[in-house]
């Protein structure tokens, strides 16, 4: 997102404040419908660019907005290697993601990495609502108390914990992998 902020001539903190409002203040009349698949990306892009322009005083081009905003984001290969090792050790794995569009996912890798894939825009639910956690656990066929949920947002962790899951706050691959090794009793790459 820093690359996008630089290209648009806006401050990263302004972009983050507008983008994360739905995660700090609860449901949002723009982000929530987009993440749950109720709003098309084109409409979201126009409205979000307008919201960002109001916040920053800069005109923002809505063309390919989501792709441009996340263009600098890279997969954390160390985490994907840890997921693969965990799955090969016999654990079930799942991806539970709030989506800002559906094109940024490495779907060609999903079959090898995950037993279950739950993407908010495809299922009409989003974190931190309890039903998306229940839906994912049901698809996995595992009791929530036997699940370890990793996320970088404390509100999502709180919701998963309320559903009975063990939680890990993701700050960096190195820290998360150490915590997962301790919880699972595995040596992860």
pLDDT digits (tens, 9 = 90+) for 47-103: 999 999 999 999 999 999 999 998 888 889 999 999 999 999 999 999 999 999 898
Cα(9)–Cα(15) distance, rounded to whole angstroms?
A: 11
pLDDT at position 114 is 98
CATH architecture of 77-184: 3-Layer(aba) Sandwich (3.40)
The 10 Å Cβ neighbour count of residue 128 is 20
The model scores a pTM over 0.85: yes
pLDDT at position 129 is 95
Q: End-to-end distance of the chain based on CA atoms, in angstroms?
A: 27
Q: Among 22, 14, 24, which Cα is nearest to 55's?
A: 14
Could you state, in order of their start, the residue ranges of all structural domains in the chain? 2-69, 77-184
- Structure tokens belonging to residue 105: 């996912």
């Amino acid at each position: 997102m820093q690359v996008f902020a630089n290209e648009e001539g806006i401050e990263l903190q302004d972009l983050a404040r507008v983008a994360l409002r739905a995660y700090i203040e609860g449901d949002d009349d723009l982000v929530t419908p987009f993440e749950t698949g109720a709003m098309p990306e084109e409409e979201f892009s126009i409205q979000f660019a307008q919201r960002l322009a109001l916040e920053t005083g800069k005109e923002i081009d809505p063309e390919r907005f989501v792709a441009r905003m996340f263009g600098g984001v890279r997969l954390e290969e160390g985490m994907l290697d840890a997921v693969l090792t965990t799955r090969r050790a016999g654990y079930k794995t799942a991806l539970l993601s709030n989506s800002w569009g559906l094109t940024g996912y490495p779907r060609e890798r999903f079959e090898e990495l995950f037993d279950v894939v739950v993407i908010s825009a495809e299922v009409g639910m989003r974190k931190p609502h309890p039903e998306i956690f229940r839906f994912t656990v049901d698809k996995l066929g595992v009791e929530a108390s036997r699940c370890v949920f990793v996320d970088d947002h404390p509100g999502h962790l709180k919701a998963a914990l309320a559903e009975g899951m063990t939680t890990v706050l993701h700050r960096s691959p190195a820290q998360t992998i150490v915590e997962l090794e301790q919880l699972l009793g595995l040596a992860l790459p």
